[in-house]
């Protein structure tokens, strides 16, 4: 047991070393993530989300890992190990849940890793101590369950199934990957200065390295198979980054290169596309199969590419990202058009109602895009990350942080059911991959705000934060004030500056409807460079202030005509937010199934405080309500319907990320337009 | 073994007694199906389909039942029975395929049952003998495999699983139902006059009755569970009709009434909706869950309702049919909006690309609608049957009768894949429910052409056929000549008439763009009655001739604005046919993903003979081809796209039922319209 009894040092300096995806100095990246103290969220929506995550969501995870049996599985594995050969249930212990239950523990540990370094938490460190104590117990269990040769997987150890016998489905390396990521997170934040933190990190890293060493010993240079669910690739690359052990990177590269030769086997007849095993990754032109698997693999692909200087590999990933963004991505940034096999669909198959948009896919896309942002320094990746954050990802969590979406559609009709499920958020899932994944991302959010390139600090996301970046001439330290997504005003005050000139670069968001930049009150150009940033290069002094006013005027957006499923519709955006109509906000007679907007009616914004939602900005506009077809009526006719013939009604849109916090009634992002002939 | 060696009597009179769904005289139905010699297809598309079914498709089924292992499963069950207690594999025999493999044998036997009565076939009866010989062998296997208490299910008998231990998934009663239906078909056609036929029928009916008796002994008056896949309900009602044994009808009613109380259990967590077990059937307002299961159940519901005079039960089925037609049915007549769980979607969830529209669902809807047509005498059911026949169902078979669709979407994009499957027709499937289902429907098609009510013969479907109906005053015998769907001209010549007045009623198809009726050359009213029929009541004489000219002018049809997925689109219909654009017919530059039609351009029809398709009527029209979005371009914009800005191209539509007989390139039924502002 680690000594966690001493009170956390409330005023201890945050000495974070690095966040997720931290390339080695030799990696071929255009940007470097912040190292050292880095960034911290201090106010605004992202800060509030991070706090809610710690105060409401993480405690729920700790409880659920007990209730759902994840920890019992590990206890059973430990008991079996203690009792004998370590594998095969001779104790009568029963395994609970799907084969990848361990990964929920690991994602939670990763979240805890980031949290432990953040701040000691309120009430004299109670929350810090609760998290650290859980980590201490869980790590203790892992130590007890891990076999002598380093193997660790509670499902295999309890069930007695042969190791690596059905890698297409067993998720053994997927779980190992999440364990490794948790260990890397804990190791990168170990010097928080909090008592016991460094020891915890050391213990977890030891477990993870023994697992990784076992994988190297078993798979390096072999063609024994690939895990059906990618994740180990990026995890091994990160472990290489954290430990310097080249064998981990080599194995990650091997797994990336082995993909596409049928080594992954088959998962319940879902085929090779499902497992990204149809074509070598370098020959793959479009994302296909299971969306989360595909994008977890991409994270590993980029990690391997930048660490090995493999430009063609990186370029293949960029090409697939471009294809995905142009042809397989929803307005919310989400991916995965099919419930069947939780998969990407064909190009331009983007049904709003049947959108799968798994929360984990949004997280995977966020992780992949961050890696491409570092690799290339291009703002388009930060654009997508912001879109994901405030929409596809943001919507996955209820206002109270206690319920989660697994699937994130852009439309819900009356009486919606998927099997027997009405499609509302759940507290937990029998396949609970999403909630702890949400938690690890929110706990590490500050690492994605900024990066550096040479003598320039690039700010990608605007929110209340402090940012501290080591540039060539010294440290540049900023205090950023912003109320995004509600307002477009951002202030960055220089608290400390290096000697001589250096650059401060602001991403000009693609959504800004008009940008004004001032430096110490003086207007400056707001034209971004070819990478999408406005770079202000000068001799900065403490007290300098840059203000940006990004235009967040609400606007109508329209789909390309090639997208069949939302033809003839428009959606509302404001700043980085996608909006939606929820039945809860409409007058009784304005049934969402029978509304249409005439032309592009004016959008009237107002601040509001809605029950179940809290503070928000709603948008009022005008619509027409037409009548439903008569019951029993054949719904295909010799003349087009005339939705413009109905009654005018005022309707109200709310941010998509805030939907489903009232009742379970319909929602739609895409609003039909009255055909112009009948306006 | 039955003596099948004697040559079939080529000129033997067809003495069919009854077809599928033949209510008892006491049943509460508005119409009666034809009894006695009934109808025969003599020319036209339906006749050609029936011939192709016998000559190309059925031989393929006989081969596949051997290749896929269905017959081996039954042989294994027979061997085990011979060897010992009849259950539990002590012979080392292995079971092949899904648990319901027996049902493929039974559906094929049902098809053979109808075929054996139809005609002796070409080449001196070779085809008749091949079918009869297969039936003889297969029935022999069933006799050998059936256990002493009447139980028969090769999966349970070979696997050794307990009987009825997991009814949600085991399909034991589903298979029994298909066995019963095969036996009923064989029994109803036994007096074909062909040598050996009656003996075969007797043997199969004996096997089926022993199975049914076993079910009665096991389940009657009990609450032991329900089969997850409805089918036994209609089968038992039909067996009651064929044998007069009331216990079968009682058990059918029991199973119908027991539905909705959680007795069906759960199939892999799909929930109660999936198995139609959420609500009692009388309280169910809309079709939900697995589409085929839902509609097979409806067939049983109507059978039980009319045989027991249960008007509220019938009315609940009618209400669901109306709801389904208005809110959950595709233009092709197909049902099933979701690949997930092969299920109905929410109301108005009708994606053309992701339409599941299982072929078996089209068959189920056809069977259900026929029962409602008999129950009510309303033409709307015949309308849907015709739509299903020529579209959702017709498309499931390749031109050569050798390949089949399981899923029937209304759109296919470039590079389409579902798992690793490119979505083309297959010769057979690992779950091969559809091909033999197609075969049993095609073999019995003539039974759905006409029915009687009192002194009136109702003709529902128009095609080359002879129809012979016993009316109160005697037999009315017609020869019908028609070239539907290509032409709208129908001639019905009276070959024999009863004494005194009687009615000849023609359904006025809902698609007819203008109807002219002549009786012996004299114009007559073409106004249908409230049930949708034109009833011509007169003293008919041999040689009388009624001609109908139904308008088959090609036309544009439009979806109700409440259907989101095809908003802003139009489709082409001609007569009962839905048309589609296939890439194969368009000029090189006219990419289906980027076509739009300006307004409602003229539709120019022409007869054509296309490679891979054969004789057809194609429709040429005008479209605009616009450019694709640039690669990597975010596809949501501040201004609507302008698909009207492209180049004009002529495009060609083909009947939907003939699609996918050339290459695997894109297809679409719904064609985007240029928004009127940009026309």
Q: How close A112 gets to chain B, by Cα (Å)? A: 33
CB pairs under 8 A between A and B: 222
Is the Cβ pair A353, B338 closer than 8 Å? no
**Any idea which residue has 């110490």 for tokens?**
A520
pLDDT at residue A385 tops 90: yes
Tell whether the torsion through CA atoms of B236, B237, B242 and B243 is positive or negative: positive
* Segment 463-522 of chain A within 8 Å of chain B by CB: 510
For testing the chain B interface, which of A346, A380, A592 should be mutated: the one with the most B CBs within 10 Å?
A346
| pLDDT above 60 for A461 | yes
- pLDDT at residue B36, rounded to an integer: 75
Confidence (pLDDT) at B126: 81
pLDDT of residue A247: 98
Disruptive mutation site among B562, B565, B668 for chain A (greatest number of A CBs within 10 Å): B562
Task: Say whether pLDDT at B377 is over 90.
Answer: yes
| Alpha-carbon gap, residue A18 to A364, rounded angstroms | 19
Answer yes or no: do A640 and B420 touch at CB < 8 A: no
* Confidence check: pLDDT of A679 > 50: no
User: What residues contact A109, with CB distance under 8 A and at least 6 apart?
Assistant: A135, A138, A139, A182, A185, A186, A204
CA nearest to B290 within chain A: A419
How far the first Cα of chain A sits from its last, in Å, is 72
Q: Å from A417 to nearest chain B CA?
A: 7
Q: What radius of gyration do chain A's Cα atoms show?
A: 25
Residue of B nearest to A279 (CA): B420
**Residue that is written with structure tokens 């020959």 in the block:** A283
Mean pLDDT is lowest, of A327-336, A480-489, B113-122, B277-286, for B113-122
Interchain pair B571, A636: CB under 8 A: yes
pLDDT on residue B13: 38
Would you say the C-alpha torsion A188, A190, A192, A197 has a positive or negative sign? positive
Average pLDDT over residues B425-435: 95
More confident residue, B38 or A662: A662
Whether residue B562 and residue A339 make contact (CB cut-off 8 A), yes or no, is no
Which chain A residue lies closest to B275 (C-alpha atoms)? Answer: A419
Q: How far is A201 from chain B (nearest CA, A)?
A: 40
User: Cβ contacts of residue B289 below 8 Å, gap of 6+?
Assistant: B270, B271, B273, B274, B275, B276, B278, B341, B343, B344
- Residues from chain A that touch B271, judged by Cβ atoms under 8 A, are 419-421
Å from B349 to nearest chain A CA? 8
Q: Which two tokens stand for residue A476?
A: 């540049």
Return d(Cα A448, Cα A372) in angstroms, integer.
12
Is residue A206 scored above 80 in pLDDT? yes
Q: Taking residues A282-288, report their average pLDDT.
A: 97
- The owner of tokens 């596409």 is A260
Please tell me the distance in Å from B544's CA to the nearest CA on chain A.
Answer: 36
Residue B9 pLDDT greater than 60, yes or no = no
Backbone phi, psi, residue B146, to 5°: -65, 130
**Residue B308 in contact with residue B253, Cβ under 8 Å?**
yes
Q: Do A354 and B351 touch (CB under 8 A)?
A: yes
Could you read off the pLDDT of A267-284 as tens digits, one per residue? Answer: 999 999 999 999 999 999
State residue B378's pLDDT score: 98
What are the CA-CA distances from residue A230 to residues A255, A302, B343 (Å)?
Answer: 9, 13, 30
Do the Cβ atoms of A557 and B413 come within 8 Å?
A: no
Q: Do B672 and A564 touch (CB under 8 A)?
A: yes
A433 is catalytic: yes
Mean pLDDT, rounded, of chain B: 93
Nearest to A558 among B353, B420, B636 (CB): B636
- Measured between beta carbons, the chain B residues lying within 8 angstroms of A635 are 326-327, 329, 348, 559-560, 562-563
CB contact under 8 A, A562 and B269: no
Give the per-residue pLDDT at B118: 80
Cross-chain residue pair A637–B341, CB shorter than 8 Å: no
Q: What is the mean pLDDT of chain A?
A: 93
Q: Which residues are B494's β-sheet partners?
A: B478
- Tell me the C-alpha distance between A99 and A403, whole Å: 23
Q: Do the Cβ atoms of B564 and A411 come within 8 Å?
A: yes
- Nearest-CA neighbor of B534 among B543, B545, B526, B542? B526
Q: Rounded to a whole number, what is the distance in Å from the CA of A362 to chain B's nearest CA? A: 17
The Cα–Cα gap between B325 and A633 comes to 7
State the sign of the Cα–Cα–Cα–Cα dihedral B592, B593, B594, B599: positive
pLDDT at residue A678 tops 50: no
In sequence order, what are the beta bridge partners of B29? none
Q: Which residue of chain A has the CA closest to B323?
A: A632
From A627, which residue of chain B is nearest by alpha-carbon distance?
B562
Predicted complex ipTM? 0.94
Chain A 26-65, CB below 8 Å of chain B: which residues? none
Q: What is the DSSP string of A183-219?
A: HHHHHHTGGG--TTHHHHHHHHHHHHHHHHHHHHHHH
**Chain B nearest CA to A412, separation (Å):** 9
Q: Could you give the CA distance from residue A435 to residue B472 in angstroms, rounded to a whole number?
A: 72
Q: Is the dihedral of CA A656, A661, A663, A664 positive or negative?
A: positive
Looking at chain A from residue 309 to 338, which residues have their Cβ under 8 Å from any Cβ of chain B?
A: 322-323, 325-327, 329, 331, 338
B317 burial type by CB count under 10 A (0-12 exposed, 13-18 middle, 19+ buried): buried
Which residues of B fall within a CB distance of 8 Å from A632?
322-323, 325-326
Question: Residues of A with CB below 8 A from B557's CB?
Answer: 636-638
Please tell me if residue B629 touches chain A, with a CB cutoff of 8 Å: yes
CB within 8 Å: A633 and B326: yes
Residue B516 near residue B555 (C-beta atoms within 8 A) = no
Whether residues B560 and A637 touch (CB distance < 8 A) is answered with yes
Residue A182: what pLDDT?
A: 98
d(CA B279, CA B343): 17
* CA distance linking residue B503 with residue B508, whole number of Å: 15
Q: For testing the chain B interface, which of A269, A511, A564, A623 should be mutated: the one with the most B CBs within 10 Å? A: A564
d(CA B83, CA B158) in angstroms, rounded, equals 12
What is the C-alpha to C-alpha distance for residues A265 and A277, in angstroms, rounded to an integer? 8
CB contact, 8 Å: B574 with chain A? no
Instruction: Say which DSSP state B335 is in.
Output: B
Q: What confidence score (pLDDT) does residue A2 get?
A: 61
pLDDT at A120 over 80: no
- Of all residues in chain B, what percent carry a pLDDT higher than 90? 87
Helical packing angle, A197-219 and A122-145, nearest 10°: 30
Residues of A (403-442) whose Cβ lies below 8 Å from B: 411, 413-421, 430
* Strand ranges in B156-254 using DSSP code E only, listed in sequence order: none
Catalytic residue (one of A172, A298, A342, A378): A342
Q: Do A346 and B413 touch (CB under 8 A)?
A: yes
pLDDT digits (tens, 9 = 90+) for B463-503: 999 999 999 889 999 999 999 999 999 999 999 999 999 99
Give percent of chain B with pLDDT exceeding 70: 94
Q: How many helices (H) and strands (E) does chain B have?
A: 16, 23
CA distance B476 to B537: 13
Q: Is B185 on the interface with A (CB under 8 A)?
A: no
- Model confidence at A478: pLDDT above 70: yes
Asked if B370 and B377 count as a contact pair (C-beta separation under 8 A), the reply is no
**Closest CA in chain A for residue B332:** A636
Q: What is the pLDDT of residue A127?
A: 83
State both tokens at B139. Answer: 């029935």
Q: Which whole number is the average pLDDT over A538-546?
A: 97
B-chain residues within 8 Å CB-CB of A637? 557-560
| pLDDT tens digits, one per residue of A629-652 | 666 689 999 988 776 678 899 999
What's the confidence (pLDDT) of residue A484? 96
Residue with tokens 């027996």: B102
Residue among B352, B415, B642 minimizing CB distance to A347: B415
**Nearest-Cα residue of chain B relative to residue A324:** B632
Q: How far is A50 from chain B, CA to nearest CA, in Å? A: 29
Nearest-Cα residue of chain A relative to residue B328 = A635
A62-105, pLDDT tens digit by residue?
999 999 999 999 999 999 999 865 665 556 789 999 999 999 99
Relative to beta strand A502-507, strand A456-459 is parallel
**So what's the pLDDT on residue B399?**
98
B514 C-beta neighbours (distance < 10 Å), count: 11
| Helix and strand numbers, DSSP H then E, in chain A | 16, 23
Choose the catalytic residue: A360, A433, A434, A569: A433
Q: Is the pLDDT of residue B238 over 70?
A: yes
Tens digits of residue pLDDT in A147-167 = 999 999 999 999 999 999 999
Return the residue of B nearest to A670 by Cα. B564
Structure-block tokens of residue B347: 């109301």
Q: pLDDT tens for residues A5-46?
A: 555 544 343 344 799 999 999 999 999 999 877 899 999 999
Chain B contacts of A278, Cβ < 8 Å?
A: 420
The most confident of the ranges A663-677, B5-19, B342-356 is B342-356
Instruction: For residue range B382-414, list pLDDT tens digits in order.
Output: 999 999 999 999 999 999 999 999 999 999 999
CA distances from A257 to A127, A223, A263 (A): 43, 11, 11
């Amino acid at each position: 047991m680690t000594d966690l009894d001493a009170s956390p040092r409330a005023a201890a300096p945050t000495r974070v070393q690095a966040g997720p995806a931290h390339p080695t100095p030799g990696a071929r990246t255009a940007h470097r993530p912040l190292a050292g103290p880095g960034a911290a969220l201090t106010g605004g929506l992202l800060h509030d989300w991070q706090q809610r995550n710690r105060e409401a969501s993480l405690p729920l995870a700790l409880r659920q890992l007990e209730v759902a049996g994840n920890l019992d599985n590990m206890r059973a594995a430990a008991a079996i190990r203690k009792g004998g050969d370590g594998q095969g249930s001779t104790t009568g212990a029963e395994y609970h849940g799907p084969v990848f239950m361990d990964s929920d523990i690991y994602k939670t540990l990763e979240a805890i890793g980031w949290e432990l370094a953040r701040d000691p938490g309120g009430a004299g460190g109670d929350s810090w101590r609760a998290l650290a104590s859980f980590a201490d117990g869980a790590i203790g269990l892992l130590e007890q369950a891990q076999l002598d040769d380093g193997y660790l997987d509670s499902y295999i150890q309890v069930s007695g199934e042969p190791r690596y016998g059905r890698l297409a489905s067993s998720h053994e390396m997927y779980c190992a990957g999440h364990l490794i990521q948790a260990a890397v997170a804990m190791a990168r934040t170990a010097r928080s200065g909090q008592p016991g933190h460094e020891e915890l990190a050391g213990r977890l890293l030891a477990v993870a390295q023994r697992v990784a060493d076992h994988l190297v010993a078993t798979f390096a240079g072999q063609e024994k198979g690939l895990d059906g669910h990618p994740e180990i690739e990026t995890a091994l690359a990160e472990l290489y980054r954290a430990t310097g052990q080249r064998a981990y990177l080599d194995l990650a590269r091997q797994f990336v290169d082995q993909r596409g030769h049928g080594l992954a086997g088959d998962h319940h007849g879902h085929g090779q596309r499902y497992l990204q095993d149809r074509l070598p990754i370098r020959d793959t032109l479009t994302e296909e199969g299971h969306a989360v698997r595909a994008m977890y693999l991409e994270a590993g692909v980029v990690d391997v590419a930048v660490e090995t200087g493999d430009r063609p590999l990186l370029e293949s990933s960029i090409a697939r990202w471009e294809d995905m963004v142009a042809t397989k991505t929803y307005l919310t940034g989400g991916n995965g058009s099919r419930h069947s096999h939780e998969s990407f669909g064909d190009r331009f198959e983007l049904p709003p109602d049947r959108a799968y948009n798994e929360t984990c896919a949004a997280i995977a896309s966020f992780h992949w895009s961050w890696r491409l942002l570092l690799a290339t320094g291009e703002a388009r990746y930060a654009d997508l990350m912001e879109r994901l954050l405030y929409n596809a990802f943001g919507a996955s969590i209820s206002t109270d942080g206690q319920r989660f979406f697994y699937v994130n559609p852009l439309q819900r009709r009356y009486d919606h059911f998927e099997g027997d499920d009405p499609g509302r958020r759940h507290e937990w899932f029998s396949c609970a991959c999403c909630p702890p994944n949400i938690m690890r991302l929110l706990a590490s959010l500050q690492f994605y705000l900024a990066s550096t390139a040479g003598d320039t600090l690039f700010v990608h996301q605007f929110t209340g934060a402090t940012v501290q970046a080591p540039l060539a001439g010294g440290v540049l330290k900023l205090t950023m004030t912003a109320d995004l997504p509600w307002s477009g005003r951002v202030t960055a005050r220089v608290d400390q500056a290096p000697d001589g000139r250096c650059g401060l670069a602001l991403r000009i968001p693609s959504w800004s409807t008009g940008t004004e930049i001032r430096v110490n009150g003086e207007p400056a150009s707001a034209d971004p460079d070819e990478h999408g940033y406005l770079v202000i290069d000068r001799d900065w002094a403490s007290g300098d202030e840059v203000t940006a006013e990004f235009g967040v005027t609400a606007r109508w957006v329209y789909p390309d005509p090639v997208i069949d499923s939302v033809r003839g519709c428009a959606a509302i955006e404001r700043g980085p937010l996608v909006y939606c109509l929820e039945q809860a906000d409409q007058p009784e007679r304005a049934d969402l199934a029978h509304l249409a907007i005439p032309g592009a009616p004016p959008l009237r914004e107002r601040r509001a405080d809605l029950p179940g939602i809290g503070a928000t900005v709603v948008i009022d506009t005008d619509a027409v309500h037409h009548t439903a077809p008569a019951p029993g009526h054949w719904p295909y006719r010799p003349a087009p319907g005339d939705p413009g013939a109905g009654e005018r009604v005022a309707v109200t849109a709310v941010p998509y990320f805030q939907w489903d916090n009232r009742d379970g009634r319909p929602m739609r992002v895409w609003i039909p337009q009255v055909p112009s002939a009948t306006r």
